[in-house]
A and B are shown apart, each in its own frame.
Chain A
Amino acid sequence: MADRRSDLTGQPENRRTTLTKAVAIAELLHRESSNLLELYKKRETFIANVISGDSRLVSVPPPSSQLDTRDKLWCLQTAFLQCERLMERAIAKEDEALGIETGEYKILRKMVSDRISYLVGTIGDVIKAMDGPALVTPSFNDSLEPDNLTVFEMKLWVFRVFLEVDHWAKTAEAVLQALPKERVKPTPRLRSTRRSRR
């Protein structure tokens, strides 16, 4: 992450590149989360008819148009921090209930989880490029992680996690693409202490 940040400082070209990279990562995450959803629906055929996509697990309000750019980015960063946590929990629960996954599903699942982490950092870089504090301290809601789930409930919950990730990836893609690139200023050379949650 340090290497990733080092090239964002100072140069105007890098400032523009920071946002462009964030957009690209969001697009990539959206594509990958969509693929993961499709793969999951194919495996669990019942699930598409059971759960609608409007139930939210992430307790972050959507970045409405009334918010300024910085707040939008904070919303996105917070939401993706929760998504990251949800993905980790979903992977752990699945492996516990169903055994260690193998194959394409496992690879894609891991790829989405890693991409979320990368996007969180990149959004932080964008926020820093806008002279804002780079660190967001996420508040986690433990109620998002239900315990004592049956396997059936766990499947439903994992699907909701995937839906949530896909929703926020789509949102991030739209928000980041809408950001005016000239607003991004050079970021000061500072070291982030974010994500101390781990």
Chain B
Amino acid sequence: MPAWWPQRRRWAVWLSCCFFSVLHAHVQNELRAPQQVTVTGNRQTQQISVSWRGSHASAFDVIILRPELNQTAFYVTGLSANESGGRQEWEWTSPEPLECTSLSVQIRSREGAATGAWSAPAVLPGNDVPAKGGFQFYPQDGVMAAGSNGTFCCVLAQGLRLGSIRYGSTLLEATRLSRRSYGVTVTRQPPSTTYGINVVCQDLHKSQVAGTVLFVGYAPLLTDLQCHTEDLVSATCRWKRARNTHLRGKRRTRFTLNHRECPETQFTDTEMESCASQVWEGNWTLEAVNPLGRFVLRDGAQMEHRVRPTPPLELSAEVSAWNATLRWSWEHAAYRSLSLVCQVQLGSGGNGTKRPFAGVGLRSARLLQLHPDRDYRVRVRCGARRNFFEWGNWSRSLSFKTHMDVPEAPDVWMRTDHDNSAHVVWKPLTARQSHGRLTSYQVTWRSPGEMAGGRTESVGPRTRTLPLHPARTDGSTRITATVVAKNAAGASPPATVVIPLGGPDQTVVAESRADATERGFALVWPERADCGYVLEWRDALCWRDCSVEWLRLATGSTEATVASGHFQPGVKYNISLFSCSSKPLRRWHGYVRELAPSGTVPHLSVSQQDSDAALTWGVMPEVGRRGYLLGYNVYLDNDPGVALLANLSGEGSRKYTVKGLSKGTYKFTVKAYTLAGEDVGATASITLRLLADWLILEILTSLGATALFLAMVTFLCYRKRKWVKGAFYPDIPQPKLNDDWSRTQGPLDVRASPNHLVRVVEKPQVDSFKEVLVVIPEEDEDEARQDDGVTTTTTTTTAATTAAHRQRPSSLRRHGTIDSSDSSADSGQMDVFYTGIQTSASSRLSPADVGRPASLAPAHGGGYRPQRQAAPPGEDRRDGEPEASPGGGREASPGGGGYKAQTAWRSDSPGEAEERPTSLGSPGEEERAAPPSLGSPASVASTQFLLPDGEAEQPGREKRPMSVSAAAAAGWFTNLLSSAKA
């Protein structure tokens, strides 16, 4: 290292120190606190301007305080200030009005992170200073944009305390800005009404109030600026406001056109606003300004393209009957050379038409094709014919009335009635045809050959017809009638019609049904005539004073549609086509709309034809048809409902037979129907009765059935005769004859055999009905006879017991045991009883009996008497000798002696048998009570004996009491079974 190195080093350090010291001094100089700080405020814009000097720093820090409460209202660091005239300047907009409270501003210099000292505070005094002690509110009469935020402050009077701050009716929350000042903020404010929004501050005791009216709206927005000329010199510019600014009065929008202020105009959203310029400038600038902003519109055009004529003046009219000439004048003489197009609006009676006219400097227009005697109202507007821009305004309206003219010729036709009267008829002239108020119609009629003269009659203007009775037509068959209409202007051309007299024309022509459409009748015809046509129609059912309508058609027509406001549904119309003469070419008839018949079928009757019902009815009158009859429906009215029996198509079907009815009452309804439906129906009733033939037939049928039944019964009986015989007429067993029965007839000894005793067992506990008859077989009897010679028999008291048998027990009860007759003992069958009288000896003879000797036949009349036993020799008994019974003497036969037990037998009817209890103790009474029997000859008792019941042989078993009928039934059934077995 050289020697000089420390010295150089020392110099370097020294220089460095000097540099840094200079630099530091410079920095110290730059970061000095700003001097002479001043603050000014613009209370309209709420801006404050701050200026200072004494510092050349590149950046500054600014702090704005509300000094009373030492609140920071704003702080910014590192801002760049503008330098002007050696002073630094900076501006700031306060959110609150500057009157709200005092603001203190301090500034310091900044270089990077290094900052200088704060300047001394510069104060912008507010209105809350003690010098201004009143009750205040800011801002006053503020105008704010819709949607923006608004900040307000209330400065209380000295000594007051804040009560409330309201925005309209909304209570706001206040922020204290100073000891007396409070601020509120409203966000997104809506547009106010034209009266503004009241923001009101009240003290706590509501003793004082301060407030402001705030107007919230929009900046102007315009559209459709267009300038035109009316006088070919000046310009008028029009525009529309695109939106309502909500600002009026002092805050309204003001307009300037090419920097010339426009007079204030009334504005509504639907109207155009305008501003005039004295000269045509070619280019225009419209500027609209209000407190919230400005809007500019521009327009430019050549004058000839923007001509909008003024409305015509002094409109007048020259009027005739059919034409009128309009005249007018122009406000501007320049129009004399201007090619114009005009519209004339012509109105009459609520109708309006626009007729165009054109010409250079147009000042008149001729209106053609007007109608006489009519009121018109006209007005005119015009536009430039070349480079048409738009129509000018309408002129004032002008009213005029055209003159009268002679009427048009009336439309004349004729009408003939069935009473041979004729009428001239004509259509009333309309206002358009009459050309003025009609005064009369003049009718002239004459014979066709007459060229002049005839008879004339005038009738009133409301008359539509004139009758021509035969007396007035001098017996002519045809007359020519001429009708003329008159008004103040004169008479119309004549209208003529030839009228045939003598009643309606009966000419036979083609006739068909007319097709009805929605508009009327559509008619087509092939005939072509060169003198035009008349289509006439009238009510087909009208007979007298009928209205007639007609339609005139041009030559060569072959079709037409007949329409009339007088057409009625359900009415039949006759339509006739005439041409060149009063004779029709063709006829139609039809309904514009068919209806269901209003009447019912007449004369509905019903008659019985055997089991059928024949319905007949008459022709339905045309009046009630209201349509073409398509047929009839026949209904049967039953209780549950109505049943359709038949649908008879065709109008000619007027009878119907309902077949196969049974007797009873029937109600029939017949309804005619058209295309539209049925009528209400006519009803007829009939009650069907059975005929005499039917009665006879029923009787014969009944008789035949009875005869057939009897024949079948007979046949069956014949085929089963053995069974029948066995069942009903069983063979009577032949008595056993031990002796010779050929002896002569003698009295029958019926005394009991000494060896053949019948013992009656008394059963006191059993009543007489329960006595049981015990059948003793012969063998047993024989054995008994052999053993002890006594037979014990239990007597059964039945109705079938004969008197003799009944007498015997009664006597036995008295005597204990009696002896039977010897003769009976001989026969060994003496217990056979006969309870009936054999009325026919032949029929009761068994085959064995047939061969008997005649000696066995009864000697006396009265029939078969098998019990009559001949008295054995030596034991003759006299006739009439009483038997053991004391009362037996009554039983003596008057005709012959002997046994007559069967002479009195009882009916085998169970009822009778039961009703007649047998009294053993009173034989006499029993005898008297026994009537003569005419019943079956069969003896039940004998049957019992002939066919012993097995049960009877059961020892120890008590015999069940049995009635005679029961016994008979049992026997009958047994025989049936045995017969069946056989």
Chain A residues packing against B (C-beta within 8 Å): 43-46, 49-50, 95-100, 150-152, 155
Contacts and interface: CB of A to CB of B under 8 A. Distances in A.
A155 B198 contact: yes
A151 B200 contact: no
A97 B250 contact: yes
A97 B249 CA distance: 5
Interface in B185-206: 194-196, 198, 200, 202, 206
Contacts of A49: 202, 206
A95 B195 contact: no
Contacts of B959: none
B221 interface: no
Most buried by B among A45, A46, A95, A96: A46
A146 to B, nearest CB: 15
B192 to A, nearest CB: 11
Interface residues of B, number: 22
Interface string B162-205: 00001011000000000000000000000000111010101000
B82 to A, nearest CB: 36
B248 interface: yes
A45 B169 contact: yes
Contact of A44 (B141, B195, B202): B195
Contacts of B828: none
Nearest to B252: A99
Contact of B249 (A46, A50, A98): A98
A114 to B, nearest CB: 23
B249 A95 contact: yes
Contact of B248 (A44, A45, A46, A99): A99
Given A44-B198, A98-B248, 10 more contacts: A45-B198, A46-B198, A49-B206, A50-B200, A99-B248, A99-B249, A100-B248, A150-B140, A152-B212, A155-B213
Contact of A46 (B137, B140, B211, B250): B211
A74 to B, nearest CB: 36
A186 to B, nearest CB: 50
A150 B137 CA distance: 11
B249 A150 contact: no
Nearest 7 CB-CB pairings of A with B: A99-B248, A151-B213, A99-B249, A150-B140, A50-B209, A46-B200, A98-B249
Contacts of B140: 150-152
B200 A96 contact: no
20 contacts: A44-B195, A45-B168, A46-B198, A49-B202, A50-B200, A96-B250, A97-B249, A97-B250, A98-B195, A98-B196, A98-B249, A99-B249, A99-B252, A100-B266, A151-B140, A151-B212, A151-B213, A152-B141, A155-B198, A155-B213
> A95, A96, A152: which has the most chain B beta carbons within 10 Å?
A152
Contacts of B202: 49-50
A43 B169 CA distance: 12
Contacts of B266: 100
Nearest to A47: B198
Prevailing SS type, chain A contact patch: helix
Nearest to B215: A151
A46 B195 CA distance: 13
B778 to A, nearest CB: 148
Task: Pick the most buried of B137, B169, B194, B213: most chain A CB atoms within 10 A of its CB.
Answer: B213
A20 to B, nearest CB: 39
B246 to A, nearest CB: 11
Contacts of B212: 150-152
A151 B141 contact: yes
Contacts of B211: 46, 152
A13 to B, nearest CB: 48
Interface string B134-166: 000100110000000000000000000000001
Contacts of A46: 166, 198, 200, 211
A160 B38 CA distance: 45
Contacts of B168: 45
A99 B194 contact: yes
Contacts of B209: 50
A22 B902 CA distance: 152
A30 to B, nearest CB: 26
Nearest to B266: A100
Nearest to B137: A152
Contact of B194 (A44, A45, A50, A98): A98
Contacts of A43: 195
A40 to B, nearest CB: 10
Interface in B610-639: none
A155 to B, nearest CB: 7
A163 to B, nearest CB: 15
Contact of A151 (B169, B196, B206, B252): B196
Contacts of B213: 150-152, 155
Contacts of B250: 96-97
A133 B141 CA distance: 47
Contacts of B137: 152
Most buried by A among B140, B202, B209, B252: B209
A150 B212 CA distance: 8
Nearest to A44: B198
A155 B249 CA distance: 14
A45 B198 CA distance: 9
Interface string B201-226: 01000100101110000000000000
A100 B212 CA distance: 20
Interface string B231-274: 00000000000000000111010000000000000100000000
Given A46-B166, A99-B248, A152 B198 contact: yes
A43 B194 CA distance: 11
Contacts of A96: 249-250
Contacts of B200: 46, 50
A155 B209 CA distance: 13
Contacts of A97: 249-250
A96 B252 CA distance: 11
A97 B266 CA distance: 16
A46 B201 CA distance: 10
A99 B141 CA distance: 14
A150 to B, nearest CB: 5
A41 to B, nearest CB: 12
A76 to B, nearest CB: 32
Contacts of B194: 98-99
Nearest to A43: B195
Nearest to B211: A152
Interface in B847-867: none
Nearest to B206: A49
A92 B55 CA distance: 56
Contacts of B195: 43-44, 98
Contacts of B141: 150-152
A166 to B, nearest CB: 20
Contacts of A98: 194-196, 248-249
B841 to A, nearest CB: 145
A44 B192 CA distance: 13
Nearest to B140: A150
A100 B194 CA distance: 10
A45 B211 CA distance: 13
A91 B211 CA distance: 21
A45 to B, nearest CB: 6
Nearest to A45: B169
A49 B137 CA distance: 17
A43 B195 CA distance: 8
A160 to B, nearest CB: 13
Contacts of B169: 45
Contacts of A95: 249
B245 to A, nearest CB: 11
A50 B140 CA distance: 18
A126 to B, nearest CB: 39
A150 B209 CA distance: 14
A50 B202 CA distance: 9
A44 B194 CA distance: 12
Contacts of A44: 195, 198
Nearest to A150: B140
A152 B206 CA distance: 17
